[in-house]
Amino acid sequence: MSEGTNKPAEELHEELERVWGNKPGWGAASAVNHTTVGLRFLITGLGFFLVGGLLAMLVRTQLALPEQDIIGPELYNQLFTMHGTVMMFLFAIPVLEGAAMYLIPKMIGTRDLVFPRLSALGYYCYLFGGLIILSSLVLQIAPDAGWFMYTPLSNAEFSPGKGPDFWLIGITFVEISAISAGVELVVSILRTRANGMALNKMPIFCWYILAMALMIIFGFPPLILGSILLELERAAGWVFFDVVGGGDPLLWQHLFWLFGHPEVYIIFLPAAGIVSTLIPVFAQRPLVGYRWIVLAIIVMGFISFGLWVHHMFTVGIPQLALAFFSIASMLVAIPTAIQIFAWLATLWTGKVVFRLPMLWILGFLIVFVAGGLTGVMLALVPFNWQVHDTHFVVAHMHYVLVGGMLFPLVAGFYYWLPHVSGRMPSDTLGRWGFWLFFGGFNMTFLLMHLTGLLGMPRRVYTYDAEMGWGWLNLLSSVGGFIMAIGVAVIILDITLHFRFGRKAKSNPWNADTLEWATPMPASAYNFASLPDIDTRHPMWEHPNLPETIEQGHHGLSEVMYERRDIFGSDAITGKVREVIHLPTNSWLPLQTALMIAVVCISLLVKVYPLALVASLGVLFFALRWGWHNGAHPVASPWRDDDPVDPPLHSRTFDGPGLWGMVVSLMANGTLYVSLLFGWFYLWTAAPQWSVPEEAPISLWPLLASGLALSAAVLIYRFAVTQLRNGSDAHLQKMLWIAASLGALHVGLLAWVLIAAPLKPSDLAHDAVLSVMLYYLLLHAGLATIFTVLQALRVRIGYVSLRLPYEPVVVQPFWIYTLGVFWMSFAAFVLLPMVWEVG
């Protein structure tokens, strides 16, 4: 795809900047550019980190001496709950997502992420959700049931305040941003790499991010479902976790840790990706064992979904299950060790330049390996029974999370700072920051292992002097404050460097990856022209890439119709397949996020009519968002000189939209499977599970509605197949028929729901069944609306034989809706009937 232009570099730059740049002033709130959004994530995350750190300092102040009452139990419980919540949900995950959003397009040689408006939406959901959660702290009604919100403590009876509602609603809001980042990163990495960048030529960091993004897709939905169920139990009295009525508090623990354990790896993987990126650069040789590491990442991703029970070794589960989860937990040591020794081998064979980022990598190694080793100890059940829920676990978890995430992150900050600022960080102040932080950290948490072994439980606001934990806690608190001073020095260092740092030369660390071929600081479009990539180390093998890129010697150096164009490429080989035209600055993400915020706040204050109106607002903006796609005038209307080879993506059958839809449905499907899990779990394990005397759902109307849905999907599929075979005759008519059948299905299903004598407040059986029916109703309703809009777009001329893109995107949604309907029919209606008879 190398085609040069003869335009002078200056002129090209100005043209690209005009098309790709953000609007000035307040208009910047409409920015969708990945560099801007990524930095916003990072800065906001840093702000939340400081809040979380402040909470930790208050906790350490209270615990410094025995029998203190500076902070009473009510406030203390809010502090530790919020510390965990803020650090996990508002700092660790969003900051890593932000770093990935900033870096990924630059590393794979493209100009933006593939769904730019989704980046912006994710950011606003994160910001607003975070502010909602923090506001509870200011109002002193913060959640106080611990960051894992165990029921029954967090239910309406034992936590009558608003705290848990803030947590459940706020976190779910923030999770929209995680899921959207997940979808966006998966599709971007798979479909927008530079021409020729096959999967095995991809920088190792991208493998880590791909794994992280996929794990978000499968890891977050169980928690989202759990939060919805718990909020329904709190607000509407539906039974899911209450033993009376057939619920089970253990179901919450399963759903929470089904998310919670993968989450640890969602945090660790990108950080390990930073380590794998930096070590070869400072060793000045290619990463040893690239394939081994890729294998280790994949294995780690899989194993991490099979370990959640190791947070629940003391709940009294069968010993065979204990043994299984214990061994699985230890097996994670293997992919971890493979990575550590591959890094060692890289250092072994290279001549290492020991710069500041490498100091942090060394800190990472020591702290993380120590944390990993205590992790193996904890995986051993008979030992776990002793130290579970003591300060030993608090120490272990901070070694793993701070060691496995914060140390590499700071290394990465220092490493990529020149990319953001064009200046180099200071070595001296940086070293002070490191040693203060490292020393303070170990002083706090190394000793805390012993505190736990001496019997101090977690989450106690005070302790008796006679227990003998006083001196350890005092030292831990002093260490904590030293660590805080370290953080202050690092922030000072980074702030000062923006003004006083010496100017960085191009590719200052002599790195091998493509992000260093952009201007420093990065321009809005990253690359003035998009190069072909045939190696894993483009900057080592073609050191003049920055110049040839800037001079427009490579692909897409021509700006057409003010469009933001990037290449779309094959998922495996990386060969260019289409030109993707991206949306430009847009207010829709902000408007949608504000509407969701209104929904959340009205749910919090229990003004349900407003929540309903705002939900319709969300739907309106979301549909408007979809309307501004494809051949719509604000996107890319049909033109006779549209490029043909490669074509524009909205003129093809297999563009990124289809990929985005399928990946989103994978997340959605995980949510549904979690609901199925809940159903079967309660059915088989809840201590007082009971079913109503008569099956509450009438079989025949439900079957009829299913047939209407099946017919709708068949017709829709037929229309799409016709389109693929080159005919758009009757397309509009078929879409209208499919939509009508969909509407009929929705009507029948709604009637079944209304007619059913369901008592969700009395029986868990009926509560789960109701959630299932609402879930089906929502999906069928959305599929119908999408199809109506498609039919309208055919009429206007946005969709046709030469613009066949959109019906193909909607198709998997129909098929999914059909799939969950019949699966629900089997699991919720047929199976219990057969069971009864048997």
> Smallest gap, in angstroms, from Cβ of residue 165 to other proteins?
17
Please report whether residue 366 would count as binding other proteins according to CB under 8 A. Answer: yes
Nearer to other proteins, 24 or 382 (CB): 382
Nearer to other proteins, 715 or 768 (CB): 768
- CB-hemisphere CA count at 13 Å for 490? 25
Nearer to other proteins, 224 or 288 (CB): 288
Please report whether residue 318 would count as binding other proteins according to CB under 8 A. Answer: no
Q: Mark residues 236-265: x for contact with other proteins by CB under 8 A, - for none.
A: -------xx---xxx---------------
Please identify which residue in 43, 139, 467, 729 interacts with other proteins, judged by CB under 8 A.
467
Provide the residue type at 144 as one letter: D
Window 50 to 79, contacts with other proteins (CB under 8 A): 73-74, 77
Q: Which stretch binds other proteins (CB under 8 A): 90-98, 308-316, 690-698, 735-743?
A: 308-316
Please identify which residue in 71, 338, 715, 768 interacts with other proteins, judged by CB under 8 A.
338
Nearer to other proteins, 3 or 389 (CB): 389
Provide the residue type at 57 as one letter: M
User: From CA 223, how far away is CA 377, in angstroms rounded?
Assistant: 27
The SS3 of residue 242 is: coil
User: From CA 128, how far away is CA 126, in angstroms rounded?
Assistant: 6
Please identify which residue in 70, 135, 237, 292 interacts with other proteins, judged by CB under 8 A.
292
Is residue 694 classed exposed, middle or buried when 0-12, 13-18 and 19+ CB atoms within 10 A define those classes?
Answer: exposed
Q: Which two tokens stand for residue 392?
A: 């030993």
Window 658 to 687, contacts with other proteins (CB under 8 A): 687
Please report whether residue 153 would count as binding other proteins according to CB under 8 A. Answer: yes
Please report whether residue 446 would count as binding other proteins according to CB under 8 A. Answer: no
User: From CA 181, how far away is CA 174, in angstroms rounded?
Assistant: 11
Residue among 354, 400, 359, 352 at smallest CA distance from 377? 400
User: From CA 434, how far away is CA 428, in angstroms rounded?
Assistant: 10
Please report whether residue 572 would count as binding other proteins according to CB under 8 A. Answer: no
Asked if residue 64 lies in contact with residue 477, where contact means CB atoms within 8 angstroms, the answer is yes
Q: Which two tokens stand for residue 303?
A: 């194993």
Asked if residue 798 lies in contact with residue 636, where contact means CB atoms within 8 angstroms, the answer is no
Q: Which two tokens stand for residue 132?
A: 């909602």
Q: Which stretch binds other proteins (CB under 8 A): 178-186, 341-349, 511-519, 795-803?
A: 341-349
Window 728 to 767, contacts with other proteins (CB under 8 A): none
Q: Which stretch binds other proteins (CB under 8 A): 20-28, 334-342, 547-555, 569-577?
A: 334-342
Q: Which stretch binds other proteins (CB under 8 A): 82-90, 350-358, 519-527, 592-600?
A: 350-358
> Smallest gap, in angstroms, from Cβ of residue 759 to other proteins?
20
Q: Which stretch binds other proteins (CB under 8 A): 120-128, 166-174, 385-393, 435-443?
A: 385-393
Q: What is the maximum alpha-carbon separation in the chain?
A: 85
Window 177 to 216, contacts with other proteins (CB under 8 A): none
> Smallest gap, in angstroms, from Cβ of residue 55 to other proteins?
16
> Smallest gap, in angstroms, from Cβ of residue 142 to other proteins?
14
Please report whether residue 463 would count as binding other proteins according to CB under 8 A. Answer: yes
Nearer to other proteins, 9 or 369 (CB): 369
> Smallest gap, in angstroms, from Cβ of residue 148 to other proteins?
9
Please identify which residue in 10, 24, 320, 354 interacts with other proteins, judged by CB under 8 A.
354
Window 684 to 713, contacts with other proteins (CB under 8 A): 687-688
Asked if residue 525 lies in contact with residue 20, where contact means CB atoms within 8 angstroms, the answer is yes
Please report whether residue 383 would count as binding other proteins according to CB under 8 A. Answer: yes
What DSSP designation does 808 have?
A: H
Residue among 591, 660, 661 at smallest CA distance from 621? 591
DSSP structure string for 408-474: HHHHHHHHHHHHHHSBPPPHHHHHHHHHHHHHHHHHHHHHHHHHHHTTPBTT-S---GGGS-HHHHH
Please identify which residue in 344, 559, 613, 695 interacts with other proteins, judged by CB under 8 A.
344
Please report whether residue 302 would count as binding other proteins according to CB under 8 A. Answer: no
User: From CA 114, how far away is CA 187, in angstroms rounded?
Assistant: 7
Three-class DSSP labels, 626-656: HHCCCCCCCCCCCCCCCCECCEEHHHCCCCH
Please report whether residue 453 would count as binding other proteins according to CB under 8 A. Answer: yes
> Smallest gap, in angstroms, from Cβ of residue 17 to other proteins?
42
The SS3 of residue 577 is: strand
Please identify which residue in 57, 199, 299, 377 interacts with other proteins, judged by CB under 8 A.
377
Please identify which residue in 26, 138, 466, 633 interacts with other proteins, judged by CB under 8 A.
466
Asked if residue 297 lies in contact with residue 335, where contact means CB atoms within 8 angstroms, the answer is yes
Please report whether residue 160 would count as binding other proteins according to CB under 8 A. Answer: no
Nearer to other proteins, 381 or 671 (CB): 381
User: From CA 101, how far away is CA 720, in angstroms rounded?
Assistant: 34
Nearer to other proteins, 308 or 813 (CB): 308
Residue among 451, 499, 507, 457 at smallest CA distance from 474? 451
Please report whether residue 777 would count as binding other proteins according to CB under 8 A. Answer: no
Window 122 to 151, contacts with other proteins (CB under 8 A): 145-146, 150
Nearer to other proteins, 354 or 500 (CB): 354
Please identify which residue in 389, 427, 541, 547 interacts with other proteins, judged by CB under 8 A.
389
Pairs from 823-831 (Cβ < 8 Å, separation ≥ 24): 823/672, 823/676, 824/772, 824/776, 825/702, 825/703, 825/706, 827/676, 827/679, 827/680, 828/679, 828/697, 828/768, 828/769, 828/772, 829/695, 829/697, 829/699, 829/702
> Smallest gap, in angstroms, from Cβ of residue 254 to other proteins?
13
Residue with tokens 């098309």: 19
What DSSP designation does 308 have?
A: G
Nearer to other proteins, 129 or 372 (CB): 372
Nearer to other proteins, 383 or 718 (CB): 383
| Residue 30: C-alpha distances to residues 23, 161, 580 (Å) | 7, 37, 21
> Smallest gap, in angstroms, from Cβ of residue 319 to other proteins?
6
Q: Which stretch binds other proteins (CB under 8 A): 194-202, 229-237, 446-454, 707-715?
A: 446-454
Which residues, at least 6 apart from 780, have a Cβ–Cβ distance to it below 8 Å? 709, 742, 745, 746, 749, 817, 821
